[in-house]
């Protein structure tokens, strides 16, 4: 199986509109120009039914590039964090082949209906779960409506064929999840860092971005630790940091540069509890890359990051 990218993400929030303010005014995304499933009218009509990014059920959809949407935030009273993750495949044949592969391995997978696909603004969809219980959606053919314009002075995201960015997931059983994402879904290990005799952080890629997914082995903890959005350059990152401070968003880690992927970034709290990393300059690699263990997390900076990760794990453990 060949996953092209992590194409979209669905998260839960008690008040999704808080994410609309945060995603637009701090991160620099724009409200989706249309809600998934809405009609577009006649070709060339430029008819758009909803420019608010808010669906009738209160869900919020955010746009960061040519895709109709990349981040969905759904209302939930008793859950926060990751609801689903969309994994992009090449085309119809790739999706059919992936479903057949999963069936052959005894993995529970369900092909979605046309209506379910439209609800995500994709051509077709299939559903499964990873060993940690996270909901995954295989899809192809996203709707593209172009015309992304950040409200934050021309800011641009590095997305497109590289996907939304990356996410770090706490998993109770590291090896079963690592085997699932690499042996079943075809992700490749870029590098890793040991965090003790029974714990490690493994960075996985599905395209040339150094990693699109990282798995953190942490006993009795499962959930989303942070979500990264990559920006064009250091000025966009700095301006986002300024906006976070102006909006009194808690900055959980100072500006710094990671050792392994070269990302220059900072971390801040999100309305859903997990952290959001804003960075630039992620390393791009190919299959000539050699897997390695690295021993230092940062070249410089990122003060408070370790403490923020541990606080996040404690919060998820106590939920």
Q: For the domain that residue 58 is a member of, what is the CATH number?
A: 3.10.180.10
**Does residue 271 share a domain with residue 185?**
yes
Domain of residue 66, residue span = 5-140
Total domains in the chain come to 2
Backbone angles phi and psi of 167, in degrees to 5? -140, 150
**Does residue 189 share a domain with residue 110?**
no
- State pLDDT tens for residues 195-238: 777 788 999 999 999 999 999 998 888 899 999 999 999 999 99
**Does residue 166 share a domain with residue 250?**
yes
**Does residue 21 share a domain with residue 56?**
yes
Task: Evaluate if pTM is beyond 0.85.
Answer: yes
- State pLDDT tens for residues 260-297: 999 999 999 999 989 999 999 999 999 999 999 988 88
* Residue that finishes a domain, picked among 140, 170, 196: 140
For residue 23, what pLDDT band results from cuts at 50, 70 and 90? very high
Q: For residue 256, how far is the Cα from the chain centroid?
A: 21
**Does residue 17 share a domain with residue 74?**
yes
User: Which pLDDT does position 46 carry in this prediction?
Assistant: 56
**Maximum CA pair distance of the chain?**
61
Q: Which residue has the higher pLDDT, 41 or 311?
A: 311
**Does some domain include residue 152?**
no
């Amino acid at each position: 199986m060949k996953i092209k990218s992590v194409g979209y993400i669905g998260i839960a929030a008690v008040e999704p509109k808080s994410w609309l303010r945060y995603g637009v005014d701090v991160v620099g995304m724009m409200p989706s120009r249309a809600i998934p499933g809405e009609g577009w009218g006649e070709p060339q009509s430029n008819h758009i039914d909803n420019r608010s990014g808010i669906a009738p059920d209160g869900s919020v959809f955010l746009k960061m590039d040519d895709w109709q949407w990349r981040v969905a935030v759904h209302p939930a009273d008793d859950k926060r964090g990751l609801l689903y993750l969309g994994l992009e495949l090449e085309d119809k044949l790739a999706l059919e082949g992936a479903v057949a592969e999963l069936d052959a391995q005894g993995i529970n997978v369900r092909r979605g209906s046309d209506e379910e696909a439209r609800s995500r603004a994709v051509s077709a969809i299939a559903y499964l779960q990873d060993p940690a219980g996270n909901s995954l959606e295989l899809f192809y053919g996203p709707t593209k409506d172009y015309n992304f314009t950040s409200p934050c002075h021309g800011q641009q995201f590095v997305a497109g064929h590289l996907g939304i960015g990356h996410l770090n997931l706490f998993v109770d059983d590291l090896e079963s999840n690592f085997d699932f994402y690499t042996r079943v879904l075809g992700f490749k290990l870029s590098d890793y860092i040991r965090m003790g005799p029974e714990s490690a952080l493994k960075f996985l890629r599905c395209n040339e971005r150094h990693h699109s997914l990282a798995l953190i082995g942490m006993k009795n903890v499962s959930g989303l630790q942070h979500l990264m959005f990559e920006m064009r350059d250091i000025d966009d990152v700095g301006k986002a940091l300024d906006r976070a401070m102006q909006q009194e968003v808690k900055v959980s880690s100072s500006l710094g540069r990671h050792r392994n992927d070269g990302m220059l970034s900072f971390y801040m709290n999100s309305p859903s509890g997990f952290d959001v990393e804003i960075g630039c300059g992620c390393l791009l690699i190919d299959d000539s890359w050699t897997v390695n263990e690295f021993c230092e997390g940062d070249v410089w900076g990122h003060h408070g990051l370790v403490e923020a990760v541990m606080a996040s794990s404690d919060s998820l453990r106590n939920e």
